């Protein structure tokens, strides 16, 4: 599935849910389904700065694909990071850098997140793109 297809699927899922209380329940459920992050990765180095809750983001490069793993100590935040992991994980650094999560705006999430959660989500996205830039540089060095 391409990153654009992932985006379209997320939009369809949220539009099918209806009101925002139902959508928040879905976000929490996404967080509950997120694979546990190994305790060894819950370090200060993996903390996402700018989040009110604690969010840990760990990455690995598998061939040319970035694999994200994450966790949070707060239910809604964990659901948000699970959504971002689903969107960006198993994509190339170039795809991550060239695709913004437009679904956030299209499903109306921006209007329904508190300012602190919205800032935290922006920090997650920024950190994921920073990892993608680092992996892109690493891949370019490997080919030179």
Annotated catalytic sites, by residue? 51
Kindly report the three-state secondary structure assignment for every residue of 67-126. Answer: EEEEEECCHHHHHHHHHHHHHHCCECHHHHHHCCCCHHHHCCHHHHCCHHHHHHHHHHHH
Residue 36 DSSP code: P
CB of 123 closer than 8 Å to CB of 50? yes
């Amino acid at each position: 599935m391409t990153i654009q297809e992932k985006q379209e699927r997320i939009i369809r899922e949220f539009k099918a849910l209806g009101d925002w209380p139902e959508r928040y329940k879905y976000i929490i459920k996404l967080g509950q389904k997120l694979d546990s992050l190994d305790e060894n990765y819950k370090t200060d180095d993996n903390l996402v700065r700018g989040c009110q809750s604690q969010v840990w983001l760990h990455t690995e490069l598998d061939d040319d694909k970035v694999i994200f793993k994450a966790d949070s100590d707060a239910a809604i935040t964990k659901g948000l990071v699970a959504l971002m992991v689903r969107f960006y994980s198993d994509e190339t650094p170039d795809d991550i850098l060239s695709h913004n999560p437009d679904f956030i705006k299209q499903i109306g999430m921006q209007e329904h997140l508190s300012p602190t959660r919205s800032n935290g989500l922006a920090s997650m996205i920024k950190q994921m793109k920073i990892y993608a830039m680092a992996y892109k540089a690493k891949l370019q060095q490997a080919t030179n």
